Amino acid sequence: MKKRVLLRVAASFFMILGACKNPTKEATNELSETVSVSEATSQNQTEFYVMAASGLSLRKANTTTSDKLAVMPYGSMVTVHPQTTQATISVEHIEGTMQPVTFNGLEGYCFSGYLSRYPMPVKGVSVADYVAQLKAKNNVVHYEQKENGPDFHEGYSETITLPTAKWHEGYYIAQNLFDTPKSLAFPNPKGIPSETIEAPTKPKEVWTSDLLVKRTNNKLDTITYRFRGEGSGHGFIITKPDSEKLKIERYVFVD
């Protein structure tokens, strides 16, 4: 029990250290508007949630240049309405359309790429509590926690498996759930087979803060965030076991 507490304290310390000393490069409202969305009609669900950290603009018409009615904050719930077929746009490696929605009684349009079928995690929530929140919304979510094996550093891992989640949807959930630097944007699915993307800035106490992106034929295989400091480390790995599931595994360890 004492070791588990020390592990959690170490992980929390380095997360706070990174958040305080790594200035985050939040997406602007204009950038949020031009990021596309996952299809917002799966399983007849009408309630969706804003993934954009800086908020998502609600527009009067279905163009990115129409009058802005409001900025919908991160985590806000919106009601999605049926729409006729529209051209798909792609910005920041995410595809979507201008989606008709209602937010706080206002009807308008927003880019669907920053809408998630899952409620977004709030700062400081535990993985177990977040999973309980998802299940309370009738989401079929699998959760597993286990200690690290004898061949690895002392620590533990927690795994969430989400049905029908998109790569970028899983990335933004993990980024906010595990307080990952916002300066590390969702990586391009297309590119070289293996790419390391370092956080633009990090405190001198931090040895490693980066993304390791693995691809095959311009399609994502894994997205791994790695954080390492003196005495401990943590991170997460995102994979797709099959076309209908996305798995997020968080790991924490001490030397």
Listed residues 116, 139, 167: the one ending a domain:
116
pLDDT tens digits along 139-157: 889 999 998 877 777 899 9
* Weakest mean pLDDT among 26-35, 49-58, 113-122, 239-248: 26-35
Q: Write out pLDDT tens, residues 205-253.
A: 899 999 999 999 999 999 999 999 999 999 999 999 988 899 999 999 9
Domain shared by 103 and 207, yes or no: no
Query: What is the SS3 assignment for 160?
Result: strand
Does residue 136 sit in the same domain as residue 218?
A: yes
The residue-averaged pLDDT of 82-87 equals 78
Last residue of a domain, one of 86, 116, 146: 116
CA-CA distances (angstroms) from residue 237 to 158, 160, 211? 11, 11, 10
Q: How many domains does the chain have?
A: 2
DSSP secondary structure code for residue 150 in this structure: T
Is the same domain home to 76 and 49? yes
Domain region containing 54: 29-116
| Distance, CA of 132 to CA of 113 (rounded, Å) | 25
Judge if 51 and 126 occupy the same domain.
no
Q: Do 124 and 204 belong to one domain?
A: yes
Residue scoring higher pLDDT (17 or 56): 56
- pLDDT given for residue 28 in this prediction: 36
- 95 plus 140 within the same structural domain: no
